[in-house]
Structure 1
Amino acid sequence: MQAHKDAVQLLKEAGLRVTPQREAILTFLLEYDGHATVDDIYSSLQSRFPSMSVSTVYNTVKQLSQVGLVKEIGVGDGASRFDMNVEPHHHLICVRCGALYDFYLEEPIRLSVPPEAQGFEIEDYHVEVRGVCPKCKEQKPS
């Protein structure tokens, strides 16, 4: 129930109209433990909102991202994931199961810009580390 109240408040503070679909999507993300895809959100809410389309979910999370309520993460597997943790952080990605884990670096870090990119103004950065998670490491490859 608290996540529902938080979602309504966050939408209002962001200047977005509170609709049942937006509220449900944001509540889902507040309660989700991890980095949800549009399909995760749609699958979870489809029975409550049978007329809601995947594009409604996509447009809503994009809008939530634009106002800074969620962070969109593109991890190279084609499906963006959405994270309620909007603080600066980075990700460990398991190449076997696709699990995504947050990690933090001491700030600020020094980035070396290649000579051909001198003068490039860096606005943001994201470190992505790929490997095999402990759970997958324990399993024998099939």
Structure 2
Amino acid sequence: MLRSHNLKATPQRLEITNALMVHGHLTIEKLYDILLSKFNSISLATIYKNINLMIESAFIQEVKIPKAKSVYELTKETHSHMACEKCGHVEDITIDLSTITNLDAKTDFQIKKVDVVLSGLCKNCQ
């Protein structure tokens, strides 16, 4: 998967990929904790460097959560997110964004990307 995005398959990138496949949405801090158990001398700078390269190649994407730290996920089909305001749980949701993406026909604004994060309380925190 990494090579298909023109990225070298380093041990750190393989472990980042594995962590995101297993856990889904992760903050840098959670990634650091996971990788630290595998590479006892890894630094936050190494993780940030790899994350930034993986974002630039569209292998992973950053999900900006209002009033919380960003989380990272493997890039997949277009989708939105639901974020719990209490526990921080983030999950994917597919919603029809056609009314939003069709706004460029009604305005002088060219829409390039739509990011939607719905905030509320997950089932466990309700």
TM-score range, shorter chain: 0.7 to 0.9
Which position in structure 1 is the counterpart of 2:109?
120
Which position in structure 2 is the counterpart of 1:25?
16
RMSD: 1.9
| Secondary structure of the corresponding residue to residue 72 of structure 2 | strand
- Is 2:74 the partner of 1:67? no
- Is 2:33 the partner of 1:43? yes
Does the 8 Å contact 2:17/2:74 carry over to 1?
no
Which position in structure 2 is the counterpart of 1:140?
none
Return the alpha-carbon distance in structure 2 between the equivalents of residues 27 and 11 of structure 1: 11
Which position in structure 1 is the counterpart of 2:89?
99
Q: 1:135 to 1:17 in 2, by over 3 A?
A: same
Which position in structure 1 is the counterpart of 2:72?
82
Equivalence map 1:131-142=2 (5 Å): 131-137=120-126
Give 5+ residue unaligned stretches, structure 2. Answer: none
Does the 8 Å contact 1:73/1:81 carry over to 2?
yes
Give 5+ residue unaligned stretches, structure 1. Answer: 1-9, 138-142
| Secondary structure of the corresponding residue to residue 28 of structure 1 | helix
1:79 partner amino acid = K
Does the 8 Å contact 2:85/2:120 carry over to 1?
yes
Match of 2:46 among 30, 51, 56: 56
| Secondary structure of the corresponding residue to residue 109 of structure 1 | helix
Question: Which structure's CA Rg is the greater one?
Answer: 1
Does the 8 Å contact 1:68/1:86 carry over to 2?
no
**Paired residues, number:** 123
Higher RCO (CA < 8 A, seq sep 6+): 2
